[in-house]
Amino acid sequence: MVGTLFANPIFLGGLFFLARAWSIWLPIVLGFIFWSAWTGYVRGYFMSNAKWILLEIKVPREQTKSPKAMESILAGINGTNRLGNMWERYWNGWLTAWFSLEIVGDATGVHFYVRAPEFFKRMVESQIYAQYPACEIRVAEDYTKETPPAMPTKGWTVWGSEYIHTKPDAYPIRTYEDFELVGISSKEEDTKIDPLSSLVEFFGTFKGSERMWLQMVVRAAGEGWIKEGQAVVDKLGGKKTEGHKPLLGQIVGVVDDIIGGVAGSAPPEKSQKPEKFSAGFFGLSPGVIETLKALERNMQKIGFEVGIRWVYLAKNEDYNALAIPAINGIFKQFASPNLNGFKLNGKVTTSIDYVFKKTRLAYRQKRLYNAYRWRSFFHPPYRGKTIVLSSEELATIYHFPGMVVAAPKMERIEAKRGAAPPNLPI
């Protein structure tokens, strides 16, 4: 095979050309390698010098606000989106800020956390206090340090995965608007259907060394998901769109225009006939109409690039395998046949079926566990497959539950925080 290859004159001619033209292609290759190494170095330096804090949030027992209040908090987080200029990105290693929204269940109860860059501490606190003035926010120790520093380890079992969409990002999941969490007074609190009720109840059942960690690593998304959504709307609505013209066709068109301009001939006028929609546009099914409404509503919100990861771990004597189908069942409630839903990312799930099972399982457990502790999703050392969620979708799966969630282990404060009387003597 090798002898036949070297006997081919075309192959030998190619080798000869590369050998003679090394002064052209070698600097390009070396320049690419240097640029990749440099950007990786400066970004790694930037991340290694970043300071982070973990904020724990406790809300009063009589909290009655809907997840719409969380949308306002998320809007403030979205406002931290800054790409930086060329100097900052490629000399200082500047990276757009990201945050981690976390829910934790263990033997002590259910806890809500926000991990943020220390620089944005006051911004995050002010956004939360603006919507939940009676809440309590404190800087907490990293709870992941209460478990072994590495997994897998003797005496412990760990299981986890990441969630991705079942359909393209443009399709929304079921949100709190669909769960009737808006427009209900405090007197009608019992009529609310909070999708986090089952999650909080489940997270409050752990005993001994059992722990369930759920994190949503988020940063502001670009405009690509809106364009994708508009394309889906046009397709479902039956609107005909012009196909993408190939590069060769574009070049030919430009040449024709130039020749026509030199010759003095006017380009052919485009037809002014009114746009026609396909017949299906006027006969859409009720399901398609509802999908279009959900898409349009979702596209009016701000977007976030999100990585969802969860880990269940416990000592061998406390480990309960039923926790895995339980968390998957909780996330099934956000799915809809006509819209979107969540599914496990099989490439990172700590479950192996075939060859080298023990070695591959240990690698996945180590990677997932370390990625969670590092809160790493968008950049090395642990990249994950991200999805795009609107502020409404994200507020649905992460918000502070109201009185309707009566889980006994839900961490709350018993009294509202109030200001001092204005006539208090100093």
Kind and range of the H or E run holding 387: strand 387-390
Q: β-strands 303-315, 412-413: how paired?
A: unpaired
284-301: burial string, b at 16+ Cβ within 10 Å, e else: eeeeeeebeebbeebbeb
Both tokens of 140, joined, read 């907490």
Kind and range of the H or E run holding 211: strand 211-220
Does 259 have pLDDT greater than 80?
no
pLDDT in tens, 73-87: 999 999 888 888 888
How far apart CA 230 and CA 245 sit, in angstroms, is 19
Kind and range of the H or E run holding 111: strand 109-117
pLDDT at 260: 58
Does 409 have pLDDT greater than 80?
no
Kind and range of the H or E run holding 163: strand 156-165
Please report which confidence band the pLDDT of residue 207 belongs to, taking 50, 70 and 90 as the band edges: very high
pLDDT in tens, 82-130: 888 888 888 988 899 999 999 999 999 999 999 999 999 999 999 999 9
List, in sequence order, the alpha helices (H) in 49-176: 68-78, 86-90, 121-131
Percent over 70 (pLDDT), the chain: 79
Question: Over the Cα atoms of the chain, what is R_g?
Answer: 27
